[in-house]
A and B are shown apart, each in its own frame.
Chain A
Amino acid sequence: MKVTKVGRAYPLSITQEHFSIEGRGLVREATLERYRADNDFAKKIPGEEERPHQLPSIYTHPPLDAPQQWGMTVDLNVCTGCSACVIACQSENNIPIVGKLQVAHGRAMHWIRIDRYYASRKPFDQDRGDWPEDPEIVHEPMMCQHCENAPCETVCPVNATVHSEDGLNVMAYNRCIGTRYCSNNCPFKVRRFNYFDYNQRPVGKKKIAGALSIYEEYFAPLTTKGAPDIIKMQKNPNVTVRMRGVMEKCTFCVQRIEEAKIAAHARAGASAETLIPRDSFTTACAQACPTEAIVFGDIKDPESRVSKMKKQDRNYRLLEYLNVNTRTSYLARIRNPNPKMPDAANIGVASLEEKVPE
């Protein structure tokens, strides 16, 4: 086999262009050694001290008074970045496929994505064209964090995204007019917008218009409307499909929560035992995760798996300084490289407290 330069560039449709973590403490990682020295290292990442003092709020918050409160943890220690959660979520939630052109335009629709960063012991400036030396790859599944102080909710002019009593940040698709203000104000950029009518119109196929080759979505009003039956049959009947111009995002699989609630109520009959049994169901991403990195459940129940995960000292939340109070938290990654391995020094470096000076 021979590799030769062809002297041409081929544009790749990728969902993430920037691979430097820019020292932002998003993926927190340590070697076992450092973890043993400081069990709370995950909570001491630079930036945390910027959290503002709790001031009296002039906003009234929706009451979080349901008997069960949903939350999630993602254990970065065991996440392998396999993307099974992405596909599980896509099929569970009827997420449209947009084709490579729209992906290249930054319009991928996945509700959960795997953020992938290259970390190296020596800092590098990607903007200047630096490449990381001996990089390790860190993955971080990213989906709606279900902030209790959700920035998306306050800015929506039509009340299309609101909070439920059980702590979900919910979307009312029928109410959404698509101002995209929520996405702009989302610090995690996990909201996805239907820039075209992905469910009703052909997407991602080239159509020749004279000498121009333009993708079919740009001819939308002239194409046939309606999805073929085979596509319709592939959809999850418990989840709606969204039309163009509507914002969508991770719902914590609200259809599964509701299904479980209804079943619990049906089972309860006349009794008061209407709670969903502990850890009896989970989200599609958590269900598909081969390493059980994603754990979903009732954070009000101290015995639930998710509550136990959240009690671990590795537990941390992203962008706490924004005071958004996320319901999803991450468990820091602990690495234990064999010191005899040649690149042992380059493992566990994603959130070094002190970067090695250049």
Chain B
Amino acid sequence: MDATPAAPEIKEAERQIARIPLVLNRRNFSWLTERISGVVEQPAPRWWWVAFTITASAATFGLFCLGYQISTGVGTWGNNIPVGWAWDITNFVFWIGIGHAGTLISAILFLLHQKWRTSINRSAEAMTLFAVICAAIFPGVHVGRVWMAWYLAPVPNNWAIWPNFRSALVWDVFAVSTYFTVSVLFWYTGLIPDLATLRDRATTKIRKFLFGIFACGWRGSNRNWRHYEMAYLLLAGLSTPLVLSVHSVVSFDFATSILPTWHTTIFPPYFVAGAIFGGFAMVLTLLLPARAMFKLQDVITPQHIDKMAKIILLTGSFVGYAYMMEFFLAWYSGNSYERFAFWNRVFGPYWWYWWVGMLFCNCLSPQLFWFRWCRRNVYVVYFVCMCVNAGMWFERFIIIAGGLHRDFLPSSWGLFIPTWVDIWTYIGTLGIFTSLFLLFVRFLPMIAMSEVKTAVPEADPHYATPPGIQSISPRGKERI
């Protein structure tokens, strides 16, 4: 290397093409450990209690609604004939879709060596699990006889009746349970080094004991790391097809039916793109406040938000394209039932769901992310994410109830009107989701410490602190 000082214009050019560090302000290993563990170790801030009280109350009331619905009948919801599925399956698809961003971040971006994932993967994976938990509630309780739902499992029984393997609902059971299992394993495997950190820093016996149990005797030895990294790589490989398969299978619930607007081969890629789209919006919805509340702006940087916004723009444009293609194919098919169903989507009784949810929220609002200023402004990002969250829910409702309410025979056309039980069950799952996330940030490191440390310059064995720059490492407990 030439040690002669470069000309100022070369310096300027170097500055421009230099990679922006993933952790800002030269935060070192020690700062990362202190700050991230500090969230777990220090007493919960007051806002946490306020938020948790609200979300846990919503969750509790949601569980009451579920109990009421199970004890009284599906009739407590607004479902009817023709609209046999409405908010129940809408919520199922909504939640299962949200999970996909977590798996994409943790598995696909890992395999593609996208180091920026390290700041967000832990909370995105946790979000995946909580979203899948919320999703799993609905197929379970939407059935008329919940206590018989085990018929869905291929359990040998004395009548020699198996599930109907031709039914997409059975595929769903396998897809979702596989997804949940692999996601839990992946998340837990990634947690082990960080659990060991918390164990080593624990000041109480209980913490030491519990973190000790779950850290599986991690010592940070070379051998430990070798096994860990192999396991992580294998799990990433296993999870990667799940990103594509789970929502494809969910879309088969509709694609394998004969209903106009459901019976379409475009659904698997359309649903997967929509799932990643909605999932990234939810990751940002959770992380933008968490980042501000726990002062983690140096770890979850504008660069991270910018990258996620670009993914939202990309997948949102896929989704917009899929919507256009649906209309084109309905027209091109020449099938009058298909044509009517799409006409009805835009101008029928649920017209505003389409205009607001699908057109404005899903297609138009992410287009703001073409502009750098919008990707860098957290308020704009948050606004778009909220639009996408709402829009993706509307999209599923339009597909499900919108497809059902007017099908082949006009005599059986009807409408769906939600009851208070529908509404509160949904709010209840929002409560369950946010409560679990709040518990997660309190009890587990919300950022993968061991992984994010690989993304700072110190991780390079040849790294030396440049002369004249002091590494910032505030010792002692900094109150958040």
Contacts and interface: CB of A to CB of B under 8 A. Distances in A.
Interface in A247-279: 247
Nearest to A159: B164
Interface in B146-167: 146, 148-149, 151-152, 161-164, 166-167
Interface string A172-195: 000111111101110111011111
Given A189-B409, A196-B75, A220-B72, A179 B169 contact: yes
Contacts of B257: 151, 155, 181, 184-185
A178 B258 contact: no
A243 B148 CA distance: 13
Contact of B85 (A158, A180, A191, A322): A180
Interface in A321-338: 321-322, 324
A18 interface: yes
Given A17-B414, A176-B145, A245-B73, A187 B84 contact: no
- Tell me if A's interface is mostly helix, strand, loop or mixed: loop
Contacts of A245: 73-74, 143-146
A158 B164 contact: yes
B336 A157 contact: no
A185 B409 contact: no
Interface in B299-349: 334-336, 340, 347-348
Contacts of B72: 196, 217-221
Contact of A142 (B152, B162, B409): B409
B73 A196 contact: yes
Nearest to A26: B409
A177 B148 contact: yes
Interface stretch (A35-43, A89-97, A102-110, A345-353): A102-110
Contact of B81 (A20, A127, A142, A192): A192
A193 to B, nearest CB: 6
B412 A189 contact: yes
Given A157-B169, A180-B85, A220-B73, A246 B145 contact: yes
Given A197-B73, A245-B73, A181 B169 contact: yes
A105 B80 contact: yes
Classify chain B's interface size.
35 or more
Given A178-B74, A196-B72, A20 B410 contact: yes
Given A50-B335, A142-B411, A217-B73, A177 B80 contact: no
A196 B73 CA distance: 5
Interface in B387-430: 404, 407-415
Nearest to A98: B75
B81 A157 contact: no
B144 A176 contact: yes
Nearest to A154: B166
Contacts of B145: 176-178, 243-246
Interface in B353-410: 404, 407-410
A22 interface: yes
B408 A158 contact: no
Contact of B82 (A189, A197, A322): A189
Nearest to A106: B80
A59 interface: yes
Contacts, number: 186
A32 interface: no
A240 interface: no
B258 A177 contact: no
A184 B80 CA distance: 10
B408 A244 contact: no
Q: Which of A116, A155, A188, A324 has the most CB of B within 10 A?
A: A155
B279 to A, nearest CB: 26
A65 to B, nearest CB: 21
A84 interface: no
Q: Which of A176, A184, A195, A247 has the most CB of B within 10 A?
A: A184
Nearest to A107: B80
A16 interface: yes
A76 interface: no
A195 B413 contact: no
Contact of B143 (A17, A46, A177, A321): A177
Contacts of B79: 180, 195
Contacts of B76: 218
Contact of B84 (A18, A127, A184, A194): A184
13 contacts: A17-B413, A21-B410, A23-B336, A102-B75, A140-B411, A157-B151, A177-B148, A183-B81, A184-B85, A193-B84, A217-B75, A220-B72, A245-B146
Given A117-B410, A157-B164, A193-B84, 11 more contacts: A22-B410, A106-B82, A154-B166, A155-B169, A159-B163, A176-B145, A180-B85, A183-B84, A194-B73, A194-B144, A245-B74
